[in-house]
Amino acid sequence: MNKSQRIKVISNILNKQYKTTPVPLNHKDPFTLLIAVLLSAQCTDERVNKVTPILFSKADTPKKIINLSEKEIYKIIKPCGLGPQKSKAILGLSKILIRNYKGRVPKDLEKLEELPGVGHKTASVVSNQAFGIPAFPVDTHIHRLSQRWGLTKGKNVLQTEKDLKNSFPEAKWGKLHLQMIYWGRQFCTARSCWGLECKICKSCYPKRKKRFIHKKP
């Protein structure tokens, strides 16, 4: 099976399994999504969704956030991990949004990436899910699956992102990003399947016998 055939198989299976793709992080606007995605770094979505209602009940806009101290933010978000860095970033980006963007989250990817604590993946998620701008954010789940499914040989997430964008239509990037995350959590986890067990792996590589060890980013 060549790559174009694998792409068709993957698309068909994912579309049947996940007809709808709700955003897993609870939010009500671009700012609350930005904060939730920032908090999700090295943390589960489930835990973030438990913490953000507490934070947002106190402050859900940049103007309200800057009325909190870094220590107050830290106490709330501590369960998400990396508390000192994340609390500093939340306070810092809120000040920048007020100073430079009238308290609004910018749509532009490069401007998002300039905000404290916001890397390329976070900016891509916000750009796509908050504003509908085509993007294909790549996290560890997607990087792992892309290698197991023969979609990339990239050693880092940026190369994987480039290969995925070249493989799928732009209009499908956002939905496919979520479908792959769901599949990676449910059927093809980091400590299971190993390229041998889930329906997609078996369909793409029916003759594969040995565990597939992916290159970590």
- Would you name the residues annotated as active-site residues? 121, 139
140 has pLDDT over 90: no
The first and second tokens of residue 14, run together, are 């994912």
What pLDDT is stored for residue 155 in this prediction?
A: 86
On whether the CB atoms of residues 36 and 80 are closer than 8 A, the answer is no
The 10s digit of each residue's pLDDT in 12-56 is 999 999 999 999 999 999 999 999 999 999 999 999 999 999 999
> Distance (Å, rounded) from C-alpha 117 to C-alpha 128?
18
> Distance (Å, rounded) from C-alpha 141 to C-alpha 149?
12
Phi first, then psi: give them for residue 6, nearest 5 degrees. Answer: -65, -40
What pLDDT is stored for residue 217 in this prediction?
A: 77
What pLDDT is stored for residue 210 in this prediction?
A: 95
Spatial neighbors of 37 by CB under 8 A, at least 6 apart, are 25, 122, 125, 126
DSSP codes, 58-125: H--SHHHHTTS-HHHHHHHHGGGS-HHHHHHHHHHHHHHHHHHHTT-----HHHHHTSTT--HHHHHH
Mean predicted confidence (pLDDT) in 110-130: 97
122 has pLDDT over 80: yes
The 10s digit of each residue's pLDDT in 146-204 is 999 999 998 899 999 999 999 999 999 999 999 999 999 999 999 999 999 999 999 99
pTM: 0.95
> Distance (Å, rounded) from C-alpha 156 to C-alpha 63?
37
214 has pLDDT over 90: no
Q: In which band, very low, low, confident or very high, does the pLDDT at 216 lie, cut at 50, 70 and 90?
A: confident
Task: Spell out the domains of the chain, with CATH numbers in brackets.
Answer: 30-131 (1.10.340.30), 136-204 (1.10.1670.10)
